[in-house]
Amino acid sequence: MESGLCRSVTPMDWLAIMQAWQALPSEKRSEQAWAQIPASVAASMAFEGEPVNQTWLEELHRRTKIPIRRLQRSCHPTVAS
């Protein structure tokens, strides 16, 4: 499977990709973001000159539960001072 980060994206493709991402339910976006972590970590470590085995990262990732996502916005109304 080709990673979205590894291919060339034209400006129009980028816009369509962003719109499709934003149209997804937040749960699906979280699942996709979670699934990309091992490849992202492996690429980052390789870039830093400290490569790690991506297969090992994927196995470790499979054994880890998806963390509960906290709300980014406060549930409380803002109080003006």
Band of pLDDT at residue 69, cut at 50, 70 and 90: low
The half-sphere exposure of 43 on its side-chain side, counting CA atoms within 13 A, is 9
Task: Please tell me what DSSP assigns to residue 48.
Answer: T
Question: 15 by DSSP, 3-state: which?
Answer: helix
In terms of DSSP H, where are the helices of the chain? 11-23, 26-35, 37-47, 54-62
pLDDT for res 55: 93
Question: What pLDDT was estimated at residue 8?
Answer: 65
- SS3 of 80, please? coil
Length of the chain: 81
Yes or no: say if 41 and 17 are a contact pair by the CB < 8 Å rule: no
Q: What is the pLDDT of residues 15-60, one digit of tens each?
A: 888 898 899 998 898 888 899 999 999 999 999 999 999 999 999 9
Name the pTM for this structure. 0.59
